[in-house]
């Protein structure tokens, strides 16, 4: 009997003498633990080995002058002090904030507007939804290659369209005043689809009887949107806000493929800066410090949104 | 009256949807254009005929098929091992009681929010210690199992009724057998979700291969494409053909698994 694995939910059998039962239970628990560790072993090794360990290692690195090849040297907070005075890092932070401040609200508002427009029964609506979403699965590399072709100042199709409209040719990604805005547009092209899909799913949860009774009471579309639809969408909006902020702060692939941080540093974002420091100029300790600044910023954003979310669920609980 | 209202929406939605599709349409069109058609100003908007020169050029290149094979290998190993180790881990966290399970689960979930950029330098160092830099192993090892897969399987298993599993234990089935012959056949949605999302993220990744690989015979498709662009500036049709081949597997995967895909995206972050 005791060799059989016991289902956790079953009540202990009272008929067995207490001491023997305890011993048997201990033995079972030990076997259960061994099996469990066998099951989670690979995940623990890979995830914690390449998740938690590097976080601590990175912190250590950020206090060192290290080129990844020769043994480094402890410099304390010097890297952070240097970052505070580095104009290159300041530009990177400014570019990152500008990119985030444009991309996040535009993708949320655009995603909501598109979701509201796509949330109806029409012929071909499935096709429309698919077309809006498809750019999301295209890799940033492929997007970058495609748009550097479309936006090529000399023989890109964009300039030839402008030409036909009588507008003089633009420098696009080679123009320091335009590059980052175009990168935001390219990211929106692929990123809006994600917001649309999430909002479309959330719109299914808007209680139809509430909308119906509001309509009977004479509420117009705008009123229904403001007082019924938008409040239902708030939790989803908070999630998307967090998600898009994280995505925006981490943008790298698209920039590497299109502008490589240029022209004149106008598209160097923090992550690009980190990569350059670690793998191009071989000042890995300095890069690690910059990465830590970004990570702390992300954590602050995450924590702030968590607080908002918790407060929200509390008030929601009161309403219900 | 009603039909007019419907067509009004089409007037708004059709051009909007078209805007999203146009760059991809242009990608495909330009890949079958001749160089003369692409290089003249203004460029031709529609190819005269289908010219497969770009594709022939790309596939005739010794490296390109190799990059494709590398990407396929890395992505399929990642999919297979995430399904296996993700399900094993998720099952243990959902159904077994052992010391430290809560702490471990918490730590794993915490790694989900750590930005890759924070870990990329030390991960490079770990891979260097393991002697894997500049091999596909450096791409495979970190993607063997993700916290997301473990977490998703755990959530799914928690939602399954326990009765059948309990009956099997009482009949003397091992945990492993219960998982493989009872639980996993019921877990098809979770399996599909993990497979699709793992494929997408490994296939589309550029930053990690960029760091971990030096030699172009080891490149993945995404990384190869970036070098391709510089080398073959005069042959845009070839670059675009390469781009089509890079995008195609993901588009096919998406269209095949559209429903699962969209569901998994919308549920992955929302029901935490």
**DSSP β-bridge partners for residue A65:** A73
What residues 188-227 of chain A have any CB closer than 8 A to a CB of chain B?
Answer: 189, 193-194, 197-198, 200-202
Q: What pLDDT sits at residue B245?
A: 94
- Contact criterion met (CB < 8 Å) for B17 and A128: yes
Task: Name chain B contacts of A246, Cβ cutoff 8 Å.
Answer: 113, 115
Check if B222 contacts A (Cβ < 8 Å): yes
* Average pLDDT score, chain B: 87
pLDDT tens profile B151-188: 999 999 998 888 888 888 888 888 888 899 889 999 98
Contacts B269 to A, Cβ<8 Å: 239, 243
Q: How far is B98 from chain A (nearest CA, A)?
A: 5
Contact: B145, A46; criterion CB under 8 Å: yes
Q: Which residues of A touch B104 (CB under 8 A)?
A: 40, 44, 48
CA distance B146 to B144: 7
Name which of B119, B145, B172 is nearest A58 (Cβ-Cβ): B119
Q: Does B13 touch chain A (CB under 8 A)?
A: yes
Q: How far is A214 from chain B (nearest CA, A)?
A: 22
Tens digits of residue pLDDT in A226-274: 888 999 898 899 889 988 988 898 899 999 999 998 888 899 999 999 9
Q: Where are the beta strands (DSSP E) in chain A?
A: 64-65, 73-74
Of B172, B175, B236, the CB nearest to A35: B175
Using a CB-CB cut-off of 8 Å, the residues of chain A touching B172 are 4
What ipTM score was computed for the predicted complex, to two decimals?
0.88
A107-121, A184-198, B254-268: which range is least confident on average? B254-268
Shortest CA distance from B268: residue in chain A: A198
A164 to B12: CB separation less than 8 angstroms, yes or no: no
| CB spacing of A9 vs B251 below 8 angstroms | no
Question: Would you place residue A17 in the very low, low, confident or very high pLDDT band (cuts 50, 70, 90)?
Answer: low
Q: How far B247 CA lies from chain A's nearest CA (Å)? A: 6
Find residue A64's DSSP bridge partners: A74
pLDDT band of residue A143 (cuts 50, 70, 90) is very high
Residues B122, B117: Cα–Cα separation, whole Å: 10
Q: What is the pLDDT of residues B256-272, one digit of tens each?
A: 888 877 877 776 554 43
- Nearest by CB to A150, from B26, B92, B117: name it: B26
pLDDT in tens, B5-44: 556 888 889 999 999 999 999 999 989 988 888 877 667 7
**Best mutation site among A139, A152, A281, A298 for testing chain B: the one with the most B CBs within 10 Å?**
A139
Any chain A CB within 8 A of the CB of B180? no
The nearest CA of chain B is from the CA of A202 a distance in Å of: 9
Q: Which of residues 170-189 of A touch B (CB under 8 A)?
A: 189
Interchain CB contact of B226 with A (< 8 Å): yes
Mean pLDDT score across all residues of chain A: 86
pLDDT at residue B1, as a whole number: 44
pLDDT digits (tens, 9 = 90+) for B84-107: 999 999 999 998 888 888 899 988
Q: B111 at the A interface (CB within 8 A)?
A: yes
- B64 interfacial to chain A (CB closer than 8 Å): no
Lookup result for tokens 């160092």? B125
Taking the Cβ of residue A87 and every Cβ of chain B, the question of whether any pair is shorter than 8 Å is answered with no
Identify all chain A residues contacting B183, using CB atoms and an 8 Å cutoff.
none
DSSP string, A56-115: HHHHHHHTEE--SSS--EE-TTHHHHHHHH-HHHHHHHHHHHHHHHHHHHHHHHHHHHHH
Distance from CA of B59 to the nearest CA of A (A): 17
């Amino acid at each position: 009997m005791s060799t059989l694995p016991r289902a956790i939910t079953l009540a202990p059998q009272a008929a067995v003498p207490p001491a023997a039962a305890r011993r048997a239970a201990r033995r079972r628990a030990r076997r259960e633990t061994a099996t469990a560790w066998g099951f989670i072993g690979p995940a623990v090794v890979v995830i914690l080995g390449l998740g938690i360990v590097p976080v601590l290692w990175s912190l250590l690195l950020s206090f060192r002058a290290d080129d990844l090849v020769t043994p480094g040297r402890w410099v304390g907070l010097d890297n952070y002090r240097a970052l505070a005075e580095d104009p290159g890092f300041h530009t990177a932070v400014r570019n990152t904030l500008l990119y985030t401040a444009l991309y996040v609200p535009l993708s949320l508002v655009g995603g909501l507007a598109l979701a509201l427009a796509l949330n109806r029964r029409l012929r071909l609506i499935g096709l429309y939804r698919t077309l809006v979403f498809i750019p999301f699965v295209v890799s940033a590399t492929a997007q970058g290659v495609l748009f550097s072709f479309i936006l090529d100042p000399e023989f890109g199709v964009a300039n030839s369209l402008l030409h036909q409209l009588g507008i003089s040719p633009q420098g696009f990604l080679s123009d320091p005043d335009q590059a980052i805005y175009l990168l935001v547009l390219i990211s929106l092209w692929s990123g809006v689809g994600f917001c649309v899909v999430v909002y479309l799913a959330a719109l299914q949860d808007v209680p139809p009887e509430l909308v119906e009774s509001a309509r009977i009471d004479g509420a117009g579309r705008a009123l229904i949107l403001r007082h019924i639809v938008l409040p239902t969408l708030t939790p989803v909006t908070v999630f998307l806000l967090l998600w898009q902020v994280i995505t925006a702060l981490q943008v790298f692939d698209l920039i590497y493929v299109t502008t490589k941080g240029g022209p004149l540093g106008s598209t160097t974002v923090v992550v690009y800066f980190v990569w350059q420091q670690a793998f191009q100029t071989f000042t890995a300790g300095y890069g690690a410090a910059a990465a830590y600044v970004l990570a702390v910023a992300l954590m602050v954003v995450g924590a702030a949104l968590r607080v908002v979310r918790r407060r929200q669920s509390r008030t929601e609980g009161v309403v219900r | 009256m009603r039909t007019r209202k419907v067509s009004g929406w089409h007037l708004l939605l059709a051009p909007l949807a078209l805007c999203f599709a146009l760059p991809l349409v242009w990608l495909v069109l330009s890949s079958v254009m001749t160089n003369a058609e692409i290089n003249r100003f203004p460029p031709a908007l529609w190819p005269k005929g289908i010219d497969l020169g770009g594709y022939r050029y790309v596939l005739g290149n010794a490296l390109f098929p190799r990059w494709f094979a590398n990407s396929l290998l890395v992505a399929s190993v990642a999919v297979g091992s995430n399904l296996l180790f993700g399900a094993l881990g998720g099952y243990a966290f959902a159904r077994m009681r052992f010391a430290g399970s809560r702490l471990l689960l918490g730590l794993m979930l915490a790694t989900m929010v750590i930005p890759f950029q924070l870990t990329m330098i030390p991960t490079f160092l770990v891979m260097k210690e393991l002697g894997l830099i500049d091999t596909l192993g450096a791409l495979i090892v970190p993607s063997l199992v993700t916290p997301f897969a473990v977490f998703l399987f755990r959530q799914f298993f928690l939602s399954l009724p326990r009765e059948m599993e309990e009956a099997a234990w009482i009949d003397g089935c091992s945990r492993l057998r219960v998982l493989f012959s009872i639980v996993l056949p019921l877990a098809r949605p979770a399996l599909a979700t993990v497979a699709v999302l793992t494929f997408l993220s490994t296939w589309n990744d550029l930053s990690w291969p960029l760091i971990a690989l030096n030699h172009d015979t080891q490149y993945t498709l995404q990384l190869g494409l970036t070098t391709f662009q510089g080398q073959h500036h005069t042959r845009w049709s070839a670059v675009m053909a390469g781009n089509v081949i890079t995008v195609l597997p993901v588009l096919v995967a998406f269209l095949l698994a559209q429903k699962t895909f969209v569901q998994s995206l919308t549920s992955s972050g929302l029901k935490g």
